[in-house]
């Protein structure tokens, strides 16, 4: 069954009403990513499609922007033919992509300078590497007897994550085993994704915490690390 999504946006209304918040937050992980994102933020594109297959829209967009654009296997395996009806005049390329993908319940990301149109599920599984300097934690964390740490999505927390650490009796010795911090992170962030997602990983080398996780996962790890710094 074909999924036809019809949406016509007048140029002036589109420019006034569409903001970058409607699309994914693009983060440059490489120089190639930075160049591609900068180009998309600068280029203005005019589109006029009526019930056009997504592949046709992507081909046209690739031609007028000279940006490499690919469609993920997940999108191709989705089954339905995504049809796009869209008319815009001189709209920023990032906003055009946001409109196109949102209309057909998809999203997009930039990897190695290439725009990849992906499914929502693929977006959640998208992982990347981030380094955290935790040498200060390894020097100052104390060895507490059975510390209790709870992580929850507290509604009252500005960052959306609540961390509570119940203090126990201080034995007076510092933690010099990085595996303890790794265990804390795996037990109190990202749910079961450490085992469910084969790309996810957590290790420490020379005081540097090396994390491969999703964007949401990195946010949880960063929050926990900062909470531990407040507690040390």
pLDDT for 69-103, tens place per residue?
A: 998 888 888 766 789 999 999 999 999 999 999 88
DSSP character at residue 207: T
Rounded CA separation 194/212 (Å): 9
User: pLDDT category, 56, cuts 50, 70, 90?
Assistant: very high
Tell me how far apart the terminal alpha carbons of the chain are, to the nearest angstrom: 58
Provide the residue count of the chain: 232
**Bridge partners of 159?**
none
Rounded CA separation 58/117 (Å): 9
Q: What are the chain's domains?
A: 3-122 (3.55.50.30), 128-231 (no CATH)
CB 57 within 8 A of CB 49: yes
pLDDT of residue 173: 38
Q: What is the mean pLDDT of residues 11-29?
A: 53
Rounded CA separation 118/46 (Å): 23
User: pLDDT category, 229, cuts 50, 70, 90?
Assistant: confident
Summary mean pLDDT of the chain: 77
Q: What is the pLDDT of residues 167-213, one digit of tens each?
A: 444 444 345 678 889 999 999 999 888 988 888 899 998 889 999 99
Ranking 10-14, 124-128, 166-170, 211-215 by mean pLDDT, the lowest is 10-14
Rounded CA separation 138/13 (Å): 54
User: pLDDT category, 16, cuts 50, 70, 90?
Assistant: very low
User: pLDDT category, 126, cuts 50, 70, 90?
Assistant: confident
Q: Which residue has the higher pLDDT, 32 or 19?
A: 32
CB 108 within 8 A of CB 101: yes
SS3 label, residue 169: coil
Element (H, E) at 48: strand 44-53
Q: Pick the closest to residue 217 from 133, 129, 147 (CA basis).
A: 129
The tally of CA atoms less than 13 A away on the side-chain side of residue 31 is 0
Is residue 2 pLDDT above 80, yes or no? no
Q: For the whole model, what pTM was predicted?
A: 0.51
Annotate 84-135 with DSSP letters as a single string. Answer: EEEEEEEEEHHHHHHHHHHHTT-EEEEETTEEEEE-HHHHHH--EEEEEE-H
């Amino acid at each position: 069954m074909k999924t036809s999504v019809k949406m016509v946006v007048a140029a002036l209304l589109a420019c006034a009403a569409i903001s970058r918040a409607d699309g994914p937050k693009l983060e440059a992980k490489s120089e190639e990513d930075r160049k591609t994102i900068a180009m998309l933020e600068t280029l203005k594109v005019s589109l006029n499609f009526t019930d056009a297959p997504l592949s046709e829209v992507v081909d046209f967009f690739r031609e007028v922007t000279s940006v490499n654009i690919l469609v993920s296997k997940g999108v191709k395996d989705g089954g339905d033919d995504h049809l796009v009806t869209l008319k815009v005049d001189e709209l920023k390329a990032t906003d055009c992509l946001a409109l196109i993908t949102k209309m057909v319940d998809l999203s997009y990301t930039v990897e190695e300078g290439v725009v990849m149109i992906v499914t929502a599920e693929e977006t959640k599984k998208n992982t990347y590497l981030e380094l955290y300097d935790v040498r200060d934690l390894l020097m100052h964390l104390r060895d507490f007897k059975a510390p209790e740490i709870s992580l929850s999505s507290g509604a009252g927390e500005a960052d959306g994550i609540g961390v509570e650490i119940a203090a126990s009796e201080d034995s007076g010795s510092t933690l010099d085993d990085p595996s303890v911090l790794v265990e804390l992170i795996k037990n109190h962030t990202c749910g079961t994704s450490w085992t469910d997602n084969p790309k996810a990983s957590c290790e420490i080398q020379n005081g540097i915490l090396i994390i491969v996780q999703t964007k949401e996962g990195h946010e949880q790890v960063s929050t926990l690390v900062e909470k531990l710094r407040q507690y040390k």
